[in-house]
Structure 1
């Protein structure tokens, strides 16, 4: 009787467990969830993954094998282990140097470079096998992740024959992390780097961070803020940097450091940081030698100089080239590079802020050492929700220019607003500079095709912290993913990337994939509409950039004030950058300048960026400019509300924890989009003195109410 009673209790317990929802996910696994494949795909993939043949050993080949074991095991539901010989369905990994099997296949690897790979279905000894081959171990690792991605997105692999290589040489995350673990413009918790416990304790998250980056082909990481602290260059911290470099190395990731230009004075005891002073040059050479003793494959320095109060060569009446070349000389014997940021502007310079970087850097074209890359933000101002491409792209054929994107959404709603940035980056990369005729796209500038650059770079300001979801929200993971995919191929498709990420993150059910991709593809445009429509920009509250502040006019620097950028008056609104204004259009190629400078031809998305337009002038819709602004602000809010309704309908197909988080964040976004709409309309109506178009609701509160809002503790400031 006791046996049957116990059995009955066990059956009741099992039934209760079966009726419970699946364990919730928290986003930690990112796009590497490796959720089980459904029929009929499962049987196909199992037959194509019966074991892994690895000849030769290295930490990187070991990482490739470990990822295949982990991924294939999760996807197929069957253990896939290393085997000694080829069997039907085996996966063979390696290079011609490490694997006699691969060497004997005479595969076409020559054109794949050091990081490319080939995945091919072959027969070895009469047995079916899939080969992942490359010229280097890291290429094999990238190929392993690609094979897993194909399975995650339900692509056929039985007859696979795929070869790929990155188009950009350096694909780099820039962490704006401080030594106290705060993150400037960070919305995902504290810094991932726990400097206090390094180098003794190496958090397992460091390895998972490296895995995630390697899955995208990201091959570099700058550990510290561009507003740098010289202490990072001292021996106690170099010990910690070495520990991180050791974790990242098997995954093909080199570490870089932001260098403070005044470090020779702050930690070196010198009276100057003049880049032409022999003592300063000698100090940097010795410091570089010291760093390479700690980290033999150290990548080099990232530098922010003479921008927003940071020290730099202009403090000594030297040029950016003088400063960059001094540091480049120090790291050159070790194979290092210097990445010199072109984000410069000065309140003392009366020139339009959109013109200043071009004015400072174009005269220096061809004067930088061959291991210097100038890193240029995608637009000429500062990571705004929409900007035209920077006129520097195409204007410096003798100097490698790298792209700097911002993955963390400083100006696009932080982590709580759903804004897929793939569409923003595609818009910029596809933009035609016309510097060598039609087809001279920004993508072809930065991948070296247009000017045959000796080095190429795509960098992104990271959105990663120690939150369990890494980026502070589920959908902000998509921007990390999209950055890696665009860094690998600047001519990639934002929609294809969104679909890939959706399938890997939320599942392959078409009832989920299609609506989620549509949400993503329209999300950034919604943010533009409710924040900065028709080419407006930089209308954010002071300092933290949280919430609207188009009325701000009391900051010390003219170009920190939103009124500087929108220039609204009784006549109209917008910054005249044509020949009658600042003439910023002249910095573009003539074919581009002719379009941007023409009120009738300029794309409406850049209308108020380049033109001061009357409130009653008609735009493409036939409405007056004033009415169109109200419509766009309202349209942005309505798009967010539509995304929230879509997400609610998807609840049955998504795990409860992640669904609830996104639902709540969309509610926050709806509230804040409404705040942006109402505050902006209230302010601009006070200047335009025009009624709202029929059918459009007035702001919920007075302008004084919105001006009185204070949020001093917004994150990331």
Structure 2
């Protein structure tokens, strides 16, 4: 039946209107979207550079470079590049290692490439037959991969390559730590279940595994710890080793090594031994045999991450042995294969009558120099536990004879979990840039962990992953920015939070100046907003019990170090934890310059005030306001900041695709409600002690404190097991 003309016109108009609508996206492509280039000049520039592509390498990594270029150019230009192998007729982009005749025949180029690390890359120009060719050069194929991704980031962001550029990672081992369990639950995971489908491995390699490896390679992450630090010994059994091998084989072309967490009691649980004492020969032999088995299956296996004698996990102290005894046993097993052991310093005990902030130092500093050379002590950024804000961990700078690794949390256990937009690069930078004054006055945490402080050539940085099987990988779309930021800072910790935010925004949303400026502004404001509505002025550990979702400054009972009152110590006289000489003396664990800075009230940054001092409610802040008024206004400021973030995002509705815009808008509305919840709960609770009115200039808290206390969240995601 022939359609009438008015109806045809109507449907044509609908189709035309739809063609102008920004295509919906679900976030799966992350920052590797490769959208069509709409700027005609930039499109011509790309086409002129990439008439042909010569990849002078035959490795498996070269194959994935070709696949990535195909994907990128098909997306950006609508056609795949022409790949050639003839060294004498190339007319476009060159991708070659130092083994290529192109590099060997040019002494200047060869010298530049030889200055790179094995993972470094050089973007430069090669002259041949009167033509100038752009080249991605490296010592090894993995360097070519990183260089190719760098080049593609520049092109996606609308940049042209005008000058030579070289880059090598500042930290050698750049790892994600997955807190994934074998049953696919994820401890402190807020983006669905684990992406590792152990049931279908090794036979089925999900495309998601490949895209995971691509994403990590694109930002320079070169290792992944597949399993939870609260470890399950079963992952070391033959059936699981076969599954891990399948993942390692899939990841290898992308330069991504696999690591596993080792449960210290594995020799008993799966080995049939009666003890796991690290000084017993049969135990040491069991670990050596198990490690040999792993390396036979996975020749480039990275090594072990261990949580021991912490929060119920078994360890060497069960046998009156030291952390060094336990770590060195595993280190001896992996060292013939080039592996490393990362031994976590997150140890504390409620049975020790000592400030929890001091306990890791007390246990590990006396062991300095007693660990094998392939052992890293993995230290969290702060001494408590991934709080919205913490001063840097005092262990940094206090173990000059031991390699230290930095552990950061990308998943937002204490920062709003899956509902809050909190850009974490400022938190990461705050730690990395902190001055330790050891071993030198100018030394920073970054200098300690990248090896430069002690002239070492091995180094580790780890990020607790926020990845799950949600379609967009991280649950909250902006969680992707934290994965991205970790990778970029792991490669180069001198980058600024703003640089990374701008780059991520261009790759994830648009090169539109308005979008870039507003999203960057929103991201850079988000972490401080979170601190203000959760734990301002140095407050810490005042979240709900176990699930850690939402406020719980009233939490008491049970283990003191798992309560909130242990940390804020609010009473009628004031609030805060005295860690000076008149209190727990935790400040003595820092260098004298740091101790002095934080001890003297006039020099202690107010952002750490209540972390180190118990102060009167009437104490005068630098603003002239009382501590009570300042605390109230900080909470109020945090709530207002989230409202401004929401307004900023809503102003971009016409420039962001519907699906991603609506998800972020909905979550920002939730975040605004949660910020109010934090403010009301905390201030109504603390007012019981201050007995003071709320400042007239703020929106006073509302609601009933007892109702807030009664709120329960039995189905909050990512709750870890309750240890006896």
With the shorter chain as reference, the TM-score category is over 0.9
Q: How far 1:96 moved relative to its partner?
A: 2.2
Aligned residue for 1:677, secondary structure, equals helix
1:352 maps onto 2:350 in alignment: no
Which runs of structure 2 are paired with 1:119-268 in the superposition (5 Å)? 119-157=123-161, 159-268=162-271
Cα gap change, 1:271 to 1:406, in 2 (>3 Å): same
Alpha-carbon separation, structure 1, partners of 2:496 and 2:259: 29
1:44 maps onto 2:42 in alignment: no
Alpha-carbon separation, structure 2, partners of 1:5 and 1:684: 71
Which of 544, 549, 569 is the equivalent residue of 1:546? 549
Which runs of structure 2 are paired with 1:443-458 in the superposition (5 Å)? 443-458=446-461
Which runs of structure 2 are paired with 1:208-607 in the superposition (5 Å)? 208-554=211-557, 556-607=558-609
Match of 2:632 in 1: 630
Aligned residue for 1:130, secondary structure, equals strand
Q: How far 1:454 moved relative to its partner?
A: 4.2
Q: How far 1:11 moved relative to its partner?
A: 7.3
Aligned residue for 2:520, secondary structure, equals helix
Q: How far 1:23 moved relative to its partner?
A: 2.8
| C-alpha contact 1:95 1:103 (8 A) present in aligned 2 | no
Task: List per-residue Cα deviations over 1:586-624 (Å, max 9, x = no partner).
Answer: 111001100111122100000000000100010011110
Alpha-carbon separation, structure 2, partners of 1:124 and 1:714: 62
Which of 14, 17, 23 is the equivalent residue of 1:16? 14
Aligned-residue Cα RMSD (Å) equals 1.5
Aligned residue for 2:487, secondary structure, equals helix
Alpha-carbon separation, structure 2, partners of 1:312 and 1:417: 36
TM-score, normalised by the number of residues in structure 1: 0.97
Match of 1:105 in 2: 106
Match of 1:29 in 2: 29
Aligned residue for 1:395, secondary structure, equals coil
Count of residues in Structure 1 that have an aligned counterpart in Structure 2: 712
Alpha-carbon separation, structure 2, partners of 1:81 and 1:634: 58
| C-alpha contact 1:61 1:94 (8 A) present in aligned 2 | no
Unaligned runs of 5+ in 1: none
Alpha-carbon separation, structure 1, partners of 2:346 and 2:455: 24
Task: List per-residue Cα deviations over 1:84-142 (Å, max 9, x = no partner).
Answer: 44667611112122x22232233111221100000112222222211111000000000
Q: How far 1:73 moved relative to its partner?
A: 2.7
1:71 maps onto 2:75 in alignment: no
Aligned residue for 1:92, secondary structure, equals strand
Task: List per-residue Cα deviations over 1:484-522 (Å, max 9, x = no partner).
Answer: 011101222111001100110011111110111011001
Alpha-carbon separation, structure 2, partners of 1:501 and 1:72: 19
Aligned residue for 2:105, secondary structure, equals helix
Aligned residue for 1:171, secondary structure, equals strand
Alpha-carbon separation, structure 1, partners of 2:174 and 2:9: 54
TM-score, normalised by the number of residues in structure 2: 0.96
| C-alpha contact 2:69 2:80 (8 A) present in aligned 1 | no
Which of 691, 694, 712 is the equivalent residue of 2:693? 691
Alpha-carbon separation, structure 2, partners of 1:87 and 1:73: 23
| C-alpha contact 1:87 1:127 (8 A) present in aligned 2 | no
| C-alpha contact 2:177 2:225 (8 A) present in aligned 1 | yes
Aligned residue for 2:412, secondary structure, equals coil
Aligned residue for 1:109, secondary structure, equals helix
Alpha-carbon separation, structure 2, partners of 1:671 and 1:696: 17
| C-alpha contact 2:368 2:400 (8 A) present in aligned 1 | yes
Match of 2:722 in 1: none
Match of 2:59 in 1: 58
Aligned residue for 1:281, secondary structure, equals helix
Match of 2:652 in 1: 650
Q: How far 1:711 moved relative to its partner?
A: 1.1
Alpha-carbon separation, structure 1, partners of 2:12 and 2:222: 47
Aligned residue for 1:450, secondary structure, equals helix
Task: List per-residue Cα deviations over 1:52-80 (Å, max 9, x = no partner).
Answer: 10123111011112212211332233321
Unaligned runs of 5+ in 2: 720-724
Cα gap change, 1:694 to 1:177, in 2 (>3 Å): same
| C-alpha contact 1:384 1:537 (8 A) present in aligned 2 | yes
Aligned residue for 1:173, secondary structure, equals strand
| C-alpha contact 2:98 2:113 (8 A) present in aligned 1 | no
Alpha-carbon separation, structure 2, partners of 1:357 and 1:300: 23
Q: How far 1:46 moved relative to its partner?
A: 1.4
| C-alpha contact 1:72 1:148 (8 A) present in aligned 2 | no
| C-alpha contact 1:325 1:369 (8 A) present in aligned 2 | yes
Alpha-carbon separation, structure 2, partners of 1:696 and 1:265: 60
Q: How far 1:466 moved relative to its partner?
A: 0.6
| C-alpha contact 1:325 1:372 (8 A) present in aligned 2 | yes
Alpha-carbon separation, structure 2, partners of 1:341 and 1:459: 11
| C-alpha contact 1:230 1:263 (8 A) present in aligned 2 | yes
Alpha-carbon separation, structure 2, partners of 1:187 and 1:385: 17
Q: How far 1:9 moved relative to its partner?
A: 8.0
Alpha-carbon separation, structure 2, partners of 1:5 and 1:712: 57
Task: List per-residue Cα deviations over 1:264-300 (Å, max 9, x = no partner).
Answer: 0000011110000001000000000111111111100
Alpha-carbon separation, structure 1, partners of 2:166 and 2:677: 49
| C-alpha contact 1:119 1:161 (8 A) present in aligned 2 | yes
Q: How far 1:694 moved relative to its partner?
A: 1.1
Alpha-carbon separation, structure 1, partners of 2:697 and 2:56: 71
Alpha-carbon separation, structure 1, partners of 2:180 and 2:85: 45
Match of 2:643 in 1: 641
Q: How far 1:534 moved relative to its partner?
A: 0.1
| C-alpha contact 2:22 2:655 (8 A) present in aligned 1 | no
